[in-house]
């Protein structure tokens, strides 16, 4: 018995060490964020932590975070949405067209110029419809999400180009006599000194967090990603849930398109090119499993901030854009490696605790 008396203290010390490591690994996205911010805060002192810069970075993050929020829903079901970047471009172009050209109704020979509010509603509705088409193709025809949304990526980008033959809609300020001014406020406007796009991100993140954690729909999203067949046999309407998930993704992408078009006061058909990859990276960095069923909105937001801060920080540090790509890529892969390490670690810690107890 003498030897066993000595054991617990040694074990519990080991426990605390593993506890710390566990804490570090679990909060890795957050810690990565602190490290990245800390690094640039020191190397780029003082301008990196200036109010102006924080706002610029947050504005950049907001765009990616919005896409990533929608993408989180999709990935939680075990799907993927490659079309969001193109839908960003398409929405921007639709908004641009509605402001500069209006809706031409040939039968009546009139041109309708919708107000800015109507423009937002129409372009968001169309983007959501494109998401719904994704979901429809995936659920009714059993097309793999990768393929269905890859197709939509081309289709939406093609439409974006067609709307103005590949040209930009410039100077989207509207005309007072048409009562369609004010579009630029969406990107430039502020509430309590904070840019609208950041507010939109905050609201979307909170709503998405509530949906994923506190509604049957959210629970169903996780269940489908975890075991689609079981979910179906439990009475979860799998097809409807999946359809909604792609609609949410399109809906989020629409706001990104509007924000960008508004900030630039112009809509270019290539807007949002490859944005889908940044969004996926943010989701994965935030600890959501590409296989579905595991992950969180909170993680995604942190993931988006890591990518955003890293990107802007590297630009400000005058790192060549090629090195930026190398670093970003390495960070993403590293994140997934740590994810795997953490999963194994967690299992081992549970074992230790088990041994402690019995």
Partner 1 sequence: MTQQDTTTPSAPSSPFSDPVVLRAENITKVYPGTVALDNVNFNVYRGKVNVLIGENGAGKSTLMKILAGVEQPTSGHIFLEEKEIHVRDILAAAAQGIGIIFQEMSLCPNLSVAENIYLAREVKQRGLTIDRKFQKEHTRELIQHLEQDIDPDALVSDLRIGQQQIVEIARALAQDVRILIMDEPTSALSTAEVAVLFRVINELKAEGVSIIYISHKLDELLQIGDFVTILRDGKLVETARAADISVAWIIEKMVGKNPASLFARTEQYVGEVLMRVEDLTLPRAGGGFVVDHVSFNLHAGEILGLYGLMGAGRSDVVDCLAGIRPEATGKVWINDQPVLGTTVSERIGSGIVLVPEDRQREGLVQPMSVHDNILLASLKSYMSGFFLAPGKEKEAVQEMVKRLSIRVANVNQPITSLSGGNQQKCVVAKALLTTPKVLMLDEPTRGIDVGAKSEIFEITTRLAQQGYGVIFISTELKEVLTMSDRILVMSKGAITGEFSRQEATEEKLVAASAVGHGLAGTTEPHGATTNNGHN
User: Binding residues for partner 1, per CB under 8 A?
Assistant: 210, 214-216, 219-220, 222-223, 225-227, 229-237, 289, 293-294, 346-347, 350-351, 354-355, 358
For partner 1, give the closer residue by CB, 193 or 358.
358
Shortest Cβ 240–partner 1 spacing (Å): 10
Shortest Cβ 358–partner 1 spacing (Å): 6
Shortest Cβ 351–partner 1 spacing (Å): 5
- Nearest residue to 287 via CA among 338, 239, 325: 338
Q: Phi and psi of 169, rounded to 5°?
A: -90, 115
Q: Tokens in use for 81?
A: 């949405």
Evaluate the CA torsion angle 182, 194, 272, 133 in order and state its sign.
Answer: negative
114, 181 contact by CB (below 8 A)? no
Shortest Cβ 57–partner 1 spacing (Å): 33
For partner 1, give the closer residue by CB, 81 or 228.
228
Shortest Cβ 209–partner 1 spacing (Å): 12
For partner 1, give the closer residue by CB, 112 or 144.
144
For partner 1, give the closer residue by CB, 173 or 352.
352
Cα–Cα distance for residue pair 91/103, rounded to 1 Å: 15
- Nearest residue to 225 via CA among 150, 148, 289: 289
- Maximum distance among all alpha carbons in the chain? 98
Cα–Cα distance for residue pair 305/303, rounded to 1 Å: 5
CA 66 to chain centre: 5
Cα–Cα distance for residue pair 280/304, rounded to 1 Å: 10
For partner 1, give the closer residue by CB, 55 or 232.
232
Shortest Cβ 319–partner 1 spacing (Å): 38
How wide is the angle at C-alpha 78 spanned by C-alphas 77 and 79, nearest 5°?
Answer: 95
For partner 1, give the closer residue by CB, 119 or 283.
283
302, 29 contact by CB (below 8 A)? yes
Q: Going by DSSP bridges, is the β-strand pair 194-195/110-112 parallel, antiparallel, or unpaired?
A: unpaired
Question: Which residues have a Cβ under 8 Å from the Cβ of 279 and sit 6 or more positions away?
Answer: 64, 67, 68, 70, 71, 84, 85
For partner 1, give the closer residue by CB, 53 or 219.
219
265, 173 contact by CB (below 8 A)? yes
The DSSP 8-state label assigned to residue 169 in this structure reads: B
Cα–Cα distance for residue pair 70/81, rounded to 1 Å: 9
For partner 1, give the closer residue by CB, 176 or 235.
235
Residue matched to tokens 């805060």 = 41
For partner 1, give the closer residue by CB, 105 or 207.
207
Shortest Cβ 202–partner 1 spacing (Å): 19
Shortest Cβ 67–partner 1 spacing (Å): 24
Shortest Cβ 222–partner 1 spacing (Å): 6
């Amino acid at each position: 018995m003498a030897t066993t008396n000595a054991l617990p203290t040694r074990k519990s010390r080991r426990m605390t060490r593993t506890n710390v490591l566990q804490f570090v690994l679990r909060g890795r996205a957050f810690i990565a964020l602190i490290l990245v911010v800390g690094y640039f805060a020191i190397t780029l002192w003082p301008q990196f932590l200036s109010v102006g810069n924080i706002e610029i970075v947050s504005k950049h993050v907001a765009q990616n975070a919005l896409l990533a929020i929608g993408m989180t829903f999709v990935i939680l079901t075990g799907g993927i949405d490659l079309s969001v970047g193109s839908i960003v471009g398409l929405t921007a172009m639709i908004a641009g067209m509605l402001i500069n050209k209006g809706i031409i109704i040939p039968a009546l020979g009139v041109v309708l110029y919708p107000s800015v509010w109507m423009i937002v509603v129409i372009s968001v509705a169309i983007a959501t419809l494109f998401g719904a088409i994704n979901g429809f193709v995936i659920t009714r025809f059993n097309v793999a999400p990768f393929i269905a949304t890859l197709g939509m990526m081309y289709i939406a980008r093609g439409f974006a180009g067609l709307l103005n033959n590949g040209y930009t809609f410039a100077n989207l300020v509207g005309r007072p006599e048409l009562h369609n001014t004010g579009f630029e406020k969406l990107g430039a406007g502020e509430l309590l000194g904070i840019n609208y796009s950041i507010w939109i991100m905050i609201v979307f993140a909170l709503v998405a967090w509530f949906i994923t954690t506190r509604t049957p729909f959210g629970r169903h999203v996780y269940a489908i990603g975890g075991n689609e067949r079981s979910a179906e046999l439990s009475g979860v309407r799998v097809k409807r849930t999946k359809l909604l998930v792609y609609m949410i993704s399109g809906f989020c992408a629409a706001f990104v398109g509007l924000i960008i078009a508004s900030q630039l006061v112009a809509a270019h058909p290539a807007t949002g090119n490859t944005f889908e990859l940044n969004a996926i990276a943010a989701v994965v960095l935030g600890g959501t499993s590409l296989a579905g069923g595991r992950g969180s909105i909170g993680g995604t937001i942190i993931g988006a901030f890591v990518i955003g801060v890293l990107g802007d920080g590297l630009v400000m540090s005058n790192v060549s854009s090629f090195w930026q790509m190398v670093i970003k890529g390495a960070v993403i892969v590293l994140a997934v490696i740590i994810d795997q390490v953490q999963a194994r670690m967690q299992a081992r810690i549970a074992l230790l605790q088990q041994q402690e107890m019995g």
